[in-house]
């Protein structure tokens, strides 16, 4: 601590107070009760997320009807015992559409998180280890990151047909540079660790060092990052669908339902309301998980944020 | 300092070049043959070929990129496929609402988020801190358009305090202008407030544990100058960094907010251009927003030395 006062460091070090939080960690994992008390956000977020997963998987059996079935005679009915969330302007059952809509959001969120983590990890490892490629790779990542992610996704969607795969690919491309940058930073700092130097001195080959010594140390920050990417991907998907550049209108997604309810929202606010609530709760659940994981996996980062 | 500034400005040139290359490639990869579109249905293949040659579309990728870049640097972003107007002109017509919205959102967010973060750090672990951090998580989680509709429903439809939608130019009076911007700014600012409040709290927590804060307390200084003068100034660098980086969320959110509140700005222009597949317009807006984003972060970098004279380059 004493060294920090005279160095012009942007972030003063804070190694000492973080230690106690690290040490008791491994033993508490086995005890469910303590885990709940210690990381309430993971438990609450996880429970909400599981509930949404259940809705997505079990959508056909949750008292839903065909979410695309038109019934013009019964359009814009308010919520009732028969139509729990009412019907939209084409007479489709909003409750069924919202239940099925969970599938798109969760699929996009998880797929983007997994894909951008995997691709970003590969790019970051390459940039961190292959010095001659570093400059070029990172300038490209800087360029991609200089385009606001939603705008980049929107521009990419304008190039292609609206489909769930294209939405996933567009958002993945927009999110990957952040992962790459994170991993590269980790690699650069881990390379100077004594155990990595020891491995190099022992003649261990580079790919083996990357897999055995670097990779395990990136999993914690990467998991946290992936969680936040999942949340932001869900919001981006909804935004893309909402402005008409995302999931095709034939597939019910929360963004689509809201886009279709837009024209009527001043008189029939429930069409927009229900998908909005489900979207917000799901994103909240993922963000809570992310905060909890960050506190649990990386106490130093937890203190910083 | 000047040398650093010059170096930093020069360093943004390759980044901007790569952005330009990406944005140009978007149009290059865009489906549909512009020559065929211009030629119309009656044209023979020979006609299309002639138009393609006259537009220079038959030239190689690199040549076309250099040519396009040359025009962009002279302020020529091409012509809209849909309206046939120059893209630069279309953008110029839409700048005011977006700049207004972003300015009010930025000011409102800073005014709310910084005291929120400071007080949360000061009362760490207490109810105020918890409440502020719960609000921050909500700010991250509830999408812009959801907040937008909620606010519009309560404060415009039910209470009738503000207009439901639309934009009044500032030339028509300050108050009408401002009252139309309040709900969109609050909606758009949600995620920005969350970002800034969190980093303010984190940065303040580090500063408040420093020796000079203890010294300030020991010499009998009251809490307010300690927090807002001594501590906040030393905590400023991470905060301005996040203000700069978070600008991307502001830009992305503006596209949606303008749709919700029917504000005729650049965001609406983007959405309309996407629905019409008007690629030159999409390209122009993306390029402009990216340029602004890079510029904002350049300014943030240069501001570091103002907030923390210990940082020397």
Contact between chains at B153 and A150 (C-beta distance less than 8 A): no
pLDDT on residue A145: 87
Range 195-214 of B in CB contact (< 8 A) with A = 198-199, 202, 205-206, 209-212
Chain centre distance of CA B133: 24
Q: Residue with structure tokens 């700048």? A: B95
What pLDDT, in 10s, does the model give residues B272-309? 888 887 888 888 899 999 989 988 888 888 888 777 77
Measured in degrees and rounded to the nearest 5, phi and psi for residue A91 equal: 80, 10
Q: Does A16 touch chain B (CB under 8 A)?
A: no
Tell me the average pLDDT across B26-55. Answer: 72
Q: What percent of chain B has pLDDT over 90?
A: 5
Q: Does B37 touch chain A (CB under 8 A)?
A: no
- Measured between beta carbons, the chain B residues lying within 8 angstroms of A156 are 26
Among candidate residues A58, A247, A73, the one with its CA nearest the CA of residue A167: A247
- In what helix (H) or strand (E) does residue B240 lie, and over which residues does it extend? helix B236-245
Contact, B208 vs B165, CB < 8 A?
no
pLDDT on residue A63: 67
Contact, A57 vs A110, CB < 8 A?
no
Q: Does A18 touch chain B (CB under 8 A)?
A: no
pLDDT on residue A168: 92
CA torsion angle A42 A47 A52 A55 (round to 10): 160
pLDDT on residue B38: 66
Query: Quick check: B173 pLDDT over 90?
Result: no
Range 143-182 of B in CB contact (< 8 A) with A = 143-146, 149-150, 153, 157, 164
Range 165-194 of A in CB contact (< 8 A) with B = none
Nearest CA in chain B to A254: B146
Contact between chains at B149 and A10 (C-beta distance less than 8 A): no
Phi-psi group of B44: left, alpha or beta (phi > 0 → left; psi -120 to 50 → alpha; rest → beta): beta
What pLDDT, in 10s, does the model give residues B48-100? 777 777 766 777 788 888 888 888 888 888 888 778 788 888 888 888 899 98
Tell me the average pLDDT across B231-254. Answer: 85
pLDDT on residue B224: 81
* Of the partner residues B30, B141, B271, the one whose CB lies closest to the CB of residue A287: B141
**Cα(A264)–Cα(A87) distance, integer angstroms:** 12
DSSP track, A48-67: HHHHHHHHHHHGGGSS---T
- The reported pTM is 0.83
**Cα(A157)–Cα(A122) distance, integer angstroms:** 25
Q: Does A155 touch chain B (CB under 8 A)?
A: yes
Contact between chains at A269 and B145 (C-beta distance less than 8 A): no
Mean pLDDT by 10 residues, chain A (305 residues): 40 46 52 73 87 83 72 70 70 80 90 94 88 86 87 85 86 92 88 85 84 84 89 90 84 85 77 86 89 75 48
pLDDT on residue A301: 53
- In what helix (H) or strand (E) does residue B52 lie, and over which residues does it extend? helix B45-55
Among candidate residues A155, A265, A275, the one with its CA nearest the CA of residue B142: A275
Measured in degrees and rounded to the nearest 5, phi and psi for residue B308 equal: -135, 90
CA torsion angle A115 A226 A223 A14 (round to 10): 140
Q: For residue B13, what pLDDT band results from cuts at 50, 70 and 90? A: confident
Phi-psi group of B125: left, alpha or beta (phi > 0 → left; psi -120 to 50 → alpha; rest → beta): left
Contact, B139 vs B193, CB < 8 A?
yes
Task: Give the tokens for residue B110.
Answer: 């800073």
Distance from CA of A197 to the nearest CA of B (A): 31
Q: For residue B165, what pLDDT band results from cuts at 50, 70 and 90? A: confident
Q: Residue with structure tokens 């317009």? A: B281
B298-to-A67, B12, B13, B241 alpha-carbon distances in Å? 49, 8, 11, 10
Give the three-state DSSP class for B299: helix
Q: What's the mean per-residue pLDDT of chain B?
A: 83
Distance from CA of A11 to the nearest CA of B (A): 8
Query: Quick check: B41 pLDDT over 80?
Result: no
Collect all residues with Cβ–Cβ distance below 8 Å to A245 and sequence separation of at least 6: A154, A157, A158, A162, B271, B274, B275
Question: b or e along A265-297 (b: 16 or more beta carbons within 10 Å of the residue's beta carbon)?
Answer: beebbbbbbbbbebbbbbbbbbbbbbbbbbbbb
Range 229-288 of A in CB contact (< 8 A) with B = 231, 235, 238-239, 242-245, 258, 265-266, 269, 272, 276, 279-280, 283-284, 287-288
What pLDDT, in 10s, does the model give residues B122-144? 888 788 888 888 888 888 888 88
**ipTM value of the model?**
0.83
pLDDT on residue A305: 44
Neighbours of A201 (CB within 10 A): 9
Q: Does B187 touch chain A (CB under 8 A)?
A: no
């Amino acid at each position: 601590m004493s060294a920090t006062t005279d160095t012009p460091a942007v972030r003063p070090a804070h190694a000492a107070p973080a230690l106690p939080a690290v040490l008791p960690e491994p033993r508490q994992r086995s005890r469910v009760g303590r885990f709940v008390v210690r990381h309430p956000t993971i438990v609450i977020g996880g429970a909400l997320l599981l509930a949404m997963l259940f809705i997505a998987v079990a959508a056909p059996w949750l008292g839903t009807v065909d979410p695309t079935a038109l019934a013009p005679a019964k359009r814009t009915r308010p919520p009732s015992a028969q139509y729990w969330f009412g019907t939209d302007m084409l007479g489709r059952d909003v409750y069924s559409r919202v239940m099925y809509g969970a599938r798109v959001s969760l699929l996009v969120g998880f797929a983007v998180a997994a894909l951008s983590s995997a691709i970003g990890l590969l790019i970051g490892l390459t940039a961190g280890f292959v010095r001659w490629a570093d400059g070029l790779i990172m300038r490209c990542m800087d360029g991609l990151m200089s385009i606001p992610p939603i705008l980049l996704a929107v521009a990419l969607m304008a190039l292609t047909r609206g489909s769930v795969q294209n939405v996933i690919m567009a958002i993945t491309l927009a999110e990957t540079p952040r992962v790459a940058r994170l991993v590269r930073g980790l690699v650069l700092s881990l390379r100077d660790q004594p155990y990595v130097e020891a491995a190099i001195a022992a003649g261990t080959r580079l790919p083996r060092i990357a897999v055995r010594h670097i990779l395990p140390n990136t999993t914690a920050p990467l998991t946290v990052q992936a969680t936040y990417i999942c949340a932001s991907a869900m919001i981006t998907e909804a935004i893309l669908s909402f402005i008409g550049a995302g999931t095709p209108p034939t597939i019910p997604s929360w963004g689509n339902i809201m886009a279709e309810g837009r024209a009527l929202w001043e008189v029939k606010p429930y069409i927009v309301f229900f998908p909005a609530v489900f979207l917000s709760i799901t994103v909240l659940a993922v963000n809570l998980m992310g905060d909890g994981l960050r506190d649990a996996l990386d106490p130093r980062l937890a203190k910083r944020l | 300092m000047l040398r650093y500034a010059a170096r930093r400005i020069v360093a943004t040139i390759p980044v901007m070049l790569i952005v330009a290359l990406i944005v140009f490639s978007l149009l290059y990869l865009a489906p549909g043959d512009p020559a065929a579109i211009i030629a119309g249905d009656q044209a023979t293949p020979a006609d299309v070929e002639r138009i393609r040659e006259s537009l220079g579309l038959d030239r190689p990728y690199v040549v076309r990129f250099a040519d396009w870049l040359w025009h962009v640097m002279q302020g020529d972003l091409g012509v809209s496929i849909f309206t046939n107007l120059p893209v630069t002109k279309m953008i110029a017509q839409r700048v005011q609402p977006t700049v207004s919205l972003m300015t009010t959102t930025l000011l409102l967010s800073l005014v709310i988020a910084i005291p929120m973060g400071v007080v949360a750090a000061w009362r760490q672990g207490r109810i105020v801190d918890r409440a502020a951090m719960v609000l921050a998580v909500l700010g991250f989680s509830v999408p812009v358009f959801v907040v937008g509709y909620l606010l519009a429903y309560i404060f415009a439809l039910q209470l009738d305090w503000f207009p439901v939608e639309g934009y009044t130019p500032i030339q028509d009076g300050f108050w009408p202008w401002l009252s139309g911007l309040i709900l969109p700014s609050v909606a758009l600012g949600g995620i920005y407030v969350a970002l800034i409040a969190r980093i303010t709290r984190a940065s303040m927590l580090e500063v408040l544990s420093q020796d000079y804060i203890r010294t300030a307390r020991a010499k009998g200084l009251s809490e307010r100058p300690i927090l807002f003068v001594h501590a906040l100034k030393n905590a400023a660098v991470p905060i301005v960094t996040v203000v700069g980086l978070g600008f991307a969320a502001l830009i992305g959110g503006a596209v949606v907010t303008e749709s919700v509140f029917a504000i005729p700005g650049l965001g609406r222009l983007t959405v309309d251009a996407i629905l019409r597949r008007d690629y030159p317009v999409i390209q122009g807006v993306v390029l402009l927003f990216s340029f602004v984003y890079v510029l904002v972060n350049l300014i943030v970098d240069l501001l570091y030395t103002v907030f923390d004279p210990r940082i020397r380059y």
